[in-house]
Structure formats: C-alpha cells, structure tokens
Chains A and B, each alone.
Chain A
Amino acid sequence: MKDFNINNEHKIDSGFKIPENYFEYFSEKVLLQINTEEPKVISIFYKKRTWISTIAAVLVIALSVTIYTKMAINTKDDSVVLENYITSQSDINQYDFVNLLDKNDIEKIKINLDLEDKNLEEVLTNSADIESYLTE
C-alpha cells in the first residue's frame, strides 16, 4: 500500500458541515445576550451585604450579652442601693413601716431576746425616753 504523505496529498478538509444561514443570525444572538445580561457586580454586592449582615448580627448578640450580664450584676446591688436610699432619703417613719408589716413579716423578724428581768430593768432605768415607751 502506498505510504500516506501529508505534504503530497491534496489538503484534506475537516468534513464538518455548518447549518445554512447559521452566521446570518449569529451576531444578533450574541448582541441580544449582551444587552440582557445582568452585571456580575450584583452578586459581589450580595456577598458584601451578606457579610455586613452577619457582622452586624454578631455585634448585636455580643452587645446584648454584655448588657444583660451588666444588668444581672446590677440587680444584686440594686436591693442594697434601694435599702440605703430608703433609710437615708425617705420620709417614711418607723410607724409607717410597722403598719406595712403583716403577720408573716412579724414572725420572720421576731427574735428571741431571752431577756432577764434585771437586764430589762437596767435598760429602762438608763433610758431617758421612758415616757415614750409607756405611751406607745
């Protein structure tokens, strides 16, 4: 069989067929796509927006935790602060306090003095305000 020599043979075409009128409408197809294509910048913006939202959410959570923690700590001090305020600033006197107490409150603050008569006598003797004890 004769050796095939590419340089001696007539130029061999690829054999591929192109559909009729294909190139007539090709430019139109491309230009239509280009004019209706959305700019890619939208996706970049969307990604940026997602990042900003994520960072904002993390900051809000961090801030909320900090504020809540501070409030919890302050609540413990609040009762002491309130008590000091009442005792130093208030116009409420001891009679008003007593009137606000109910049976349970009285039971709670009851203490067993275990006073002997002689100790009681000593207190009464030394007290300058014995009259007020007798009238109450």
Chain B
Amino acid sequence: MEEKEFIQNLLNPKTQNEAFQKLLLDYQKPLYNHIRNIIIDHDDTDDVLQNTFIKVFQNLKNFKGESKLFSWMYRIATNEAITFINKRAKQNGTTSKTLQSKIIENLEADSHFDGNAIQLKLQKAIVNLPEKQQLVFKMRYFEEIKYEEMSEILGTSVGALKASYHHAVKKIEIFMTKD
C-alpha cells in the first residue's frame, strides 16, 4: 500500500483502528531498539515505547504528511526518550550524561544484557562521547538508518551528521584499542 493511502486510512475514523494496529506491528520493534539504545533499561524502554505510540495516535489528526510517517514517528520516539532521560537525571540531581554513564557502569549486572566483553566495551566507549554524537553513532551503526532519514528525524544536515559519525568512530576506535 502507498504511504499516502495508508495515511488516509489512519485519518479516517472508519479505517483508523485497523490501520493503527498495522502501524503498531510495523514499528514496535524498530522503535523499541531505537528507544532502548538511548535509555538502555528494558522496563523504562517499555514505558517510553507505549507513550510514544499513544502520542502518535493522539497526534494523527495533526500529521499533515509534510514528512514521511517513518521520520515523524522516529522524531516522537527520540523526543520521548530524551525527555525521559532528562527527567530522570533531574530527579536524581544529575546530568543526563552522568546518568547514562552510571547505567553503563552497571550494565554487566543488568539481567537484560547478555553481551560479551567486546559488546560491553563498545557501550562504554559510546557513553564517553558527547550526547549528540552518541545518538548519531547508535542510529547509524546499530540501527543502520540512512543519513537522509536521520537528517529528517534529527533536523540536522546530512553533512553535519556524516562529520559527527566520523568523529564518533575515531574516538571509539581509540577507546577500543586501549586495554
């Protein structure tokens, strides 16, 4: 089905429920991975993912089709995840970067992490990056999102994103090479 037709189905009260269920099935896994990459913890990811889809449903009437559905949904998911992290950091009286570092420090003990030593070291390398670079790296490396799509989601130029990814990779390679 063409995206335009699908959007019409989402906006039409008669076909909305069925169309939204399809949207849920198509996007729950990629959006879960995207949010989990930011938030790390599974239970928090579950909460944010649910809130994301509820927000998507509530704002369908405001979706004008100026951007792709994919970009629009990822934008909502990214904002929800970042807002969550910032709120949690504020509650703990700390910054979001410090909070994420702490989460990664305790990752080995997390029952929802079964990564090996290399995977754990990579997570530690990523959390040392500036926050925007972390996001760009995760979206490109783990989620394999194209730069053009990333540009629509994050509102940053393709050139800036490519430069950000390049710098992130250099820092990670230095960290991973160290003992």
Determine whether the beta carbon of B53 is less than 8 Å from that of A16.
Answer: no
How many whole Å from B176's CB to the nearest CB in chain A? 4
Interface size class of B (residues with CB under 8 A): 35 or more
Flag if B113 contacts A18 (CB, 8 Å): no
Number of chain A residues close to chain B: CB under 8 A: 25
* Cα(A128)–Cα(B86), bound, Å: 108
In the assembled complex, B5 has its CB within 8 A of some CB on chain A: no
Of B24-32, B68-76, B150-158, the one contacting chain A is B24-32
Instruction: Tell me what chain B mostly uses at the interface: helix, strand, loop, or mixed.
Output: helix
Q: Chain A residues near B176 (CB, 8 Å)?
A: 4, 6
Nearest chain-A residue to B137 (Cβ)? A6
- Which residues 30-77 in A have Cβ within 8 Å of B in the complex? 30-31, 33-34, 37, 40
Which of B54, B123, B173 has a CB less than 8 Å from the CB of A33? B54
In the complex, which residues of chain B have a beta carbon less than 8 angstroms from the beta carbon of A100?
Answer: none
Interface residues of B (CB under 8 A from A): 21, 24-25, 28-29, 32-33, 36-37, 40, 42, 46, 49-50, 53-54, 57-58, 111-116, 118-120, 122-123, 141-142, 169, 172-173, 176-177, 179
